[in-house]
Amino acid sequence: MTAKETPIIEFKGVDLSFGDTHVLDHIDLEIDAGKFYTLLGPSGSGKSTILKLISGQLTADSGDILFEGQRINNMPAEKRRVNTVFQNYALFPNMNVFDNVAFGPKLKGWPKAKIKAQVEHMLDLVKLGAYANREISELSGGQQQRVAIARALANDPEVLLLDEPLSALDYKLRKAMQHELRQIQKELGITFIFITHDQEEALAMSDWIFVMNDGVIQQNGTPEDIYDEPINHFVADFIGESN
């Protein structure tokens, strides 16, 4: 038997309040490298707050946040090897597609040839290989989200955080993108942590799901575990909603 590898991310008893509102209540979680994780739960359950603690946009009130076994509670955001994709793309409208994707590698001071090769690779991954010279305003919403994904991957993060990246897309595109995101994650072999409030989406995409409500992880497990054996009424009702 081999020893269990150190999780890439670990939360130990993490609490966070905004004023009187207790937003995360003693969160424990473990994320292993190279898998597709989903935080699933209704609006206001604390999903985005967890991603912001991982990215360094927020600091925990108490508890430990570990990255590859090292405590990172106070590590500045720009030193963390994680990037986030948001629902609203947040692209640079005055730069073309290439320059948007090249932004992170340029900040890191990569040589020009390496940047070009990386941008081409990332645009191919999101099926926009022919769009490098387009302006952002010429792209559809779905294409803009693909650029945002390519940009977030371009400086080789170890973990990609995806905060409801598909929620603004229409149903058909969303289905296609669910599949493509899974393919990209498998191809790169890095860790994805994806947020959705859509149980079908979570069940279809994930290796492992954390079901949240009211700042608490209600259950975590494989899609099969969660679907077949919900541990309480909340999980059963939430997972059963679409059936």
- Of 22, 26, 34, 44, the one binding ligand ADP (CB under 6 A) is 44
Specify the residue, 155 or 196, whose C-beta has the smaller distance to Mg ion.
196
158 within 8 A of 130, measured Cβ to Cβ: no
Q: What is the 3-state secondary structure (H, E, C) of 69-122?
A: CEECCCCCHHHCCEEEEECCCCCCCCCEHHHHHHHHHHHCCCCHHHHHHHHHHH
Residue number, 49 or 191, with CB nearest to ligand ADP: 49
- Count of residues that bind ligand ADP according to CB under 6 A: 11
CB of 132 to ligand ADP, least distance (A): 33
Report the site for Mg ion in 40-99 (rule: CB under 5 A): 48
CA 74 → CA 60, 77, 110, distances in Å? 9, 9, 27
Site membership for ligand ADP, residue 49 (CB under 6 A): yes
Residue 21 as a binder of ligand ADP (CB under 6 A): the answer is yes
Q: Does 92 bind ligand ADP (CB under 6 A)?
A: no
Whole-number Å distance between alpha carbons of 57 and 161: 12
Name the residue with tokens 């191919």.
124
Q: Locate tokens 């947020």: which residue?
A: 195
Smallest distance, ligand ADP to C-beta of residue 49, A:
3
* 159-163 and 191-196 strand pairing: parallel
Measured from the CB of residue 39, what is the shortest distance to Mg ion in angstroms?
9
User: Does residue number 47 form part of the binding site for ligand ADP (CB under 6 A)?
Assistant: yes
Provide the 8-state DSSP code for 47.
H
Q: What are phi and psi of 159, to 5 degrees?
A: -135, 130
Residue sitting closest to Mg ion (CB): 48
Q: Is 20 in the site for ligand ADP (CB under 6 A)?
A: no
User: Which of 18, 28, 77, 135 lies at the binding interface for ligand ADP (CB under 6 A)?
Assistant: 18
Q: How far is the CB of 158 from Mg ion (least distance, A)?
A: 22
Name which position in 14, 38, 40, 45 contacts ligand ADP (CB under 6 A): 45
Cβ-contact 87, 149 below 8 angstroms: no
What residues make contact with ligand ADP under the rule CB under 6 A? 18, 21, 23, 41, 43-49
